[in-house]
Chain A
Amino acid sequence: MSASALPRAFLAMLRRDVVLAWRRRGDALLPVLYAVIVTTLFPFALGPEHALLARISGGVVLVTVLLAMLLSLDAVFRGDLEDGALEHMLLAPQPLALLMAARMLAYWLVTALPLVLVAPLLAYMLGLDAVAQPVLLLALLLASALLDLLGIVLTALTVGTRRSGMLLSLMLLPLAVPVVIFAAGAVGAAQQGLPWIAPLAWLAAALALALVLAPLACATALRIALDS
């Protein structure tokens, strides 16, 4: 295998996943629609009081994005499992971890990025201060990438099972707790005019660690779940 084969395999995998998502771009918009609907429900449940909504806006948007990502996680490997492409990835000469890294990046681009882009609008509708908006965007970029990495590792573990939807949320929740705490902590600190860089630095450090470990863990998990 020549030295350029690995980047080529990575790009081919990435291109395939993004093109497949683009062919069904309606599906990719569903998580965004879901996030909009959930955020819209909060004012109805809590009343239109501006101060209350502004105070919870950061947390609501973060949790909504997390839930929207969680709902679409189920589909990450389903198509490939059904048509047998997943087995070929396991058999491919390229390392499985590399292919999984491409899959994670593609999933983030297709599912998480639209959510991150629509999040400032949702936060604005709930009345988040303009000062905290960039912090929310930054926190969401880091948190969504981290959840994308962790979520796909867990999804890989459930590939061989039949009913994985609820199970996946049970498995992801403990991993999501620190992510939500630090992301929401940064937004909350920014809203109160406090320094907010520390929690984001923690998130970024965790993301750096996960970028290295998650593809390897995902490859191991897939091999366990498909028993090869």
Chain B
Amino acid sequence: MNAFKLWYHKLGSPPYFYLFAGYIRPWLWGIALLLAAVGLYGGLVLAPPDYQQGDAFRIIFVHVPAAWMSLFIYGVMAVSAFIAVIWRPKMAEVLAMESAPIGAAFTLIALITGSLWGKPTWGTYWTWDARLTSELVLLFIYLGVIGLYHAFEDPRQGARAASFLAMVGAVNLPIVHYSVVWWNTLHQGTTVRYFGPSSIAPSMLWPLLVMTIAAKFYYGASLMGRSRVALLSLERGKDWVRAEVAGAPAGG
């Protein structure tokens, strides 16, 4: 077995993962904060105001990364959930279940920033646009997964049931999106135009990309932190957790 494969298999063990997550978490945090600072400076200060929307467009530097992350995290969660249901490794369950609240938070941020942007731009906080509606349904799927996870007394059983729901949601999500697009075009023409990826100026594009990468690193950092806590709670009573808790400095 080569070194990478060995390392990968070791990651499946909760004590090893706990150490590994604790080691890389400060690095992920650092990179995320640094990139976010650069991206926000580029987006809020350096980028010129939009010729139509003025300064209102600047919310996209938070909104677009959050919206992308909401889907990205769902993808990560669905893959972990699939692994958790089929092969039942504990770490896949933990990663899937700890991804869900982060994904839900990003979805909520995308919805809130989207409606804040919508008020000056479209003149309303909410419209039944296809993307908005799909994003709202995505939030419900996340909440369903979180709710089902916590409804079980046994967290491992809850994780497996919620993982199954996450897989059902992964199948359902594209269906919801296309049916909502169909429904929206049936009732009214498209009144909302988003930025096309090609029609955005380079001075606005690079802060956006930097913010996207910052969001990815933040997700990694947050996932590592949440997984560590979840592991301590799941594995309580095991020797390594006792040693870990006993060895921790007071108040730490």
Q: Mark B119-160, 1 if CB is under 8 A from A, else 0.
A: 000000000000000000100110110011001101001001
**In the complex with contacts A181-B182, A185-B186, A224-B85, A167-B151 CB distance below 8 A:** yes
What B residues does A185 contact at CB under 8 A? 182-183, 186
Q: Decide if A167 touches B85 in the complex (CB within 8 Å).
A: no
A37 within 8 A of B: no
- Of the candidates B140, B148, B152, B154, which one forms a contact with A173 in the assembled complex, judged by CB atoms under 8 Å apart? B140
Q: Could you say which of B24-32, B163-171, B200-208, B226-234 contacts chain A?
A: B163-171
CB distance from A188 to the nearest CB of B (A): 8
Q: Decide if B85 touches A178 in the complex (CB within 8 Å).
A: no
Q: Decide if A220 touches B164 in the complex (CB within 8 Å).
A: yes
* Cα-based distance from A182 to B179 in the complex (angstroms): 8
A122 within 8 A of B: no
A45 within 8 A of B: no
CB distance from B40 to the nearest CB of A (A): 33
- Of the candidates A174, A189, A217, which one forms a contact with B140 in the assembled complex, judged by CB atoms under 8 Å apart? A174
* Cα-based distance from A225 to B164 in the complex (angstroms): 10
* Cα-based distance from A164 to B151 in the complex (angstroms): 8
- Of the candidates B152, B154, B161, B172, which one forms a contact with A175 in the assembled complex, judged by CB atoms under 8 Å apart? B172
CB distance from A190 to the nearest CB of B (A): 13
A136 within 8 A of B: no
- Of the candidates B141, B147, B157, B168, which one forms a contact with A167 in the assembled complex, judged by CB atoms under 8 Å apart? B147
Q: What class of interface size applies to chain A in its complex with B?
A: 20 to 34
What A residues does B172 contact at CB under 8 A? 174-175, 178
Task: Using A164-B151, A173-B144 as known contacts, list a sample of 12 further A-B pairs with CB atoms less than 8 Å apart, ordered by residue number in A.
Answer: A160-B152, A167-B144, A167-B147, A167-B151, A170-B143, A171-B148, A174-B137, A174-B169, A188-B186, A224-B85, A224-B157, A224-B160
Q: Decide if A178 touches B176 in the complex (CB within 8 Å).
A: yes
What A residues does B151 contact at CB under 8 A? 158, 161-164, 167
B180 within 8 A of A: yes
Task: Tell me the nearest residue of chain B to A227, going by C-beta.
Answer: B157
Q: List 13 A-B contacts (CB under 8 A).
A: A154-B168, A162-B151, A170-B143, A171-B144, A171-B165, A173-B137, A173-B144, A174-B141, A174-B144, A177-B180, A178-B172, A225-B157, A227-B160
